[in-house]
Amino acid sequence: MKVEAGSFSISLPSTPLPARSSRVTCVVAATLAFLLGVAVGVTLPIVLVHSPLSSSVQVAFARQDASRDTGSFIQPMKKPEGVRSLTASVHTWSPYIASKLGINNDSSSTPSLRISNDVSATDQNDIQSEWRQMPSERDVPDVEEATALLVDGIYWADSVEGKLPTGFSDSEVDEWRKFTRQHAVVRLEEGCGRMQNRLIIFENGTKSCCRYRQNYDQIQGEIFSFYLSRLLGLTNVPPSALGVVKASAWQWSNVGSQLALAQWTEERPVVMTRFIEGLVPAFIPSSLREAKRRLHPMNVEEQDPQNVAALIELAQWSDLVIFDYLTANLDRVVNNLYNMQWNPKMMEAPAHNLARHKQSGLLVFLDNESGLLHGYRLLDKYESFHASLLKALCVFRRSTAERVRQLVLRRDVGDRLRKMFRRYEPDLQDYLPPIPDKSIKILNERLQNVHKQIAKCEKWYRNS
């Protein structure tokens, strides 16, 4: 007799046995058949799952599903060794793969692996190829490295520098200077700061804030502060040019009565600054508002790397602090600091004579007339405020630090400012004196102080 169980068989003796022996034999055979069936039924699937055959089986099932569904279904792949989870990091998919798979690039969603019918076989091969080339864990930069905001301890990284607004270029400055000499003024309006300043409108509708003063030092302060900003590579000061008020001259002949109403004296030098549209108030950074104010690397590290607008504004503040310290500008942040004795919340108010261009994010340094002359005469009263802001600064733009270093080494800032005045304003030499020697001496000392502060910060933070 032959008993079969699955693919196994057992031959039993065919010789007749006693009735009791036959019953025992049947029971044994049935038990063996049951045990063998269980063993085969459990062992075989386990072997098949771990064999290369399993992928073929899945493909076969996928093809059968494709014949019933409108699209083909790709089984979710097992995460390769060392690759981060897809559900936690959707950005590991390239834009190409995301577009082909219909993945919404949102880290809060889990990517779907269903591919639409219009994906060609070539596209699917490219997707699979790119998947195989995904970086391993060691190739994926650390979050800290990917979002580095500073380099060499104290300098803004290229990730920030590359996003800064370009400001006013050299070509724009040259064009403005030429424009103010070639176009007639057709109207004067009140505005642009102090009482005798005027908003002037040229014949083509272009506007300019025109600065008029009875004394020379504030006109000198405005134009030489502008020149210094160009020497430092700072493009935040609007293009400015000098002019001379002459009611009988062709440029002013249309507004003779308005000049008399403004009480402008004949043959006085004025500064014509390009009017900038789209400006909004700018506020002092929170780290500089406190009594123990500071803008150091740790203050930058507290910033959200995704908040690009805040970062590019903070980077421009590092330039503003240097510029205002060098010129001893009284009418900007020092104005807020000084007025805190009457208004403790003054640092929360918009910074005086500072605005932000809403579209580009450029900080515009306005009204610098107190710089280099008037502010220098009042250092005994205000130097503590200037010094506190410089000492609070330990983050710099590398280009600005390098310009300061060059001016300190060459000690030629006075010569360069005077050459700029002669080159750009040859017709104004008899109307406006050059920057005085005393101011140049103080400026050189302040350049050295800025250079020392940069060196001190490098020592503190370069290897930290």
User: Per-residue pLDDT tens for 139-185?
Assistant: 333 334 435 899 999 999 999 999 999 999 999 999 999 999 999 99
Q: What confidence score (pLDDT) does residue 17 get? A: 42
> Using an 8 Å Cβ cutoff, are 367 and 324 in contact?
no
**Among residues 163, 154, 202, 165, which one has the least CA distance to residue 181?**
202
Question: Any idea which residue has 């803004």 for tokens?
Answer: 156
Whole-number average pLDDT of the chain: 78
CB under 8 Å to 161, separation ≥6 — which residues?
Answer: 315, 397, 398
Q: Which of 123-137, 167-181, 298-312, 345-359 is predicted with the least confidence, judged by mean pLDDT? A: 123-137
Cα separation, 104 vs 118, in Å, equals: 18
Q: Residue 389: what are its φ and ψ, rounded to 5°?
A: -70, -40
Q: What confidence score (pLDDT) does residue 44 get? A: 52
pLDDT grade for 106, boundaries at 50, 70 and 90: very low
- The total number of residues shown for the chain amounts to 464
Cα separation, 247 vs 264, in Å, equals: 10
Give the burial class of 118: count Cβ atoms within 10 A of its Cβ; 0-12 exposed, 13-18 middle, 19 or more buried: exposed
Q: What confidence score (pLDDT) does residue 22 get? A: 54
Q: What confidence score (pLDDT) does residue 291 get? A: 85
Q: Which of 95-104, 308-317, 379-388 is predicted with the least confidence, judged by mean pLDDT? A: 95-104
More confident residue, 332 or 43: 332
Q: What confidence score (pLDDT) does residue 194 get? A: 74
HSE of 343, CA atoms in CB hemisphere, 13 A: 10
Strand (E) or helix (H) holding 11: strand 8-11
Interval 299-320 mean pLDDT: 94
pLDDT, tens digit (0-9, with 9 covering 90-100), for 410-433? 999 999 999 999 999 999 999 999
3-state SS string for 38-83: HHHHHHHHHHHHCCCHHHHHHHHHHHHHHHHCCCCECCCCCCCCCC
SS3 10: strand
Q: What confidence score (pLDDT) does residue 34 get? A: 65
Q: What confidence score (pLDDT) does residue 31 get? A: 67
Rounded percentage of the chain residues whose pLDDT exceeds 90: 63
More confident residue, 92 or 353: 353
Give start and end residues of each alpha helix (H) in 91-157.
Answer: 95-101, 121-132, 143-146
Interval 66-77 mean pLDDT: 35
Indicate if the pLDDT at residue 212 is higher than 50.
yes
**Among residues 241, 240, 246, which one has the least CA distance to residue 264?**
246
Q: Residue 290: what are its φ and ψ, rounded to 5°?
A: -75, 165
Hey, what amino acid is at 405? R
Q: At what angle do helices 437-461 and 413-424 cross, to 10 degrees?
A: 120
**Among residues 181, 208, 216, which one has the least CA distance to residue 276?**
208
Interval 284-300 mean pLDDT: 93
pLDDT grade for 52, boundaries at 50, 70 and 90: very low
- Provide the whole-model pTM: 0.69
Cα separation, 186 vs 459, in Å, equals: 57
- Rounded to the nearest 10°, the torsion over CA 388, 394, 395, 397 is 80
**Among residues 279, 293, 248, 277, which one has the least CA distance to residue 387?**
293
Indicate if the pLDDT at residue 69 is higher than 80.
no
pLDDT grade for 30, boundaries at 50, 70 and 90: low
Q: What confidence score (pLDDT) does residue 2 get? A: 45
> Using an 8 Å Cβ cutoff, are 167 and 236 in contact?
yes
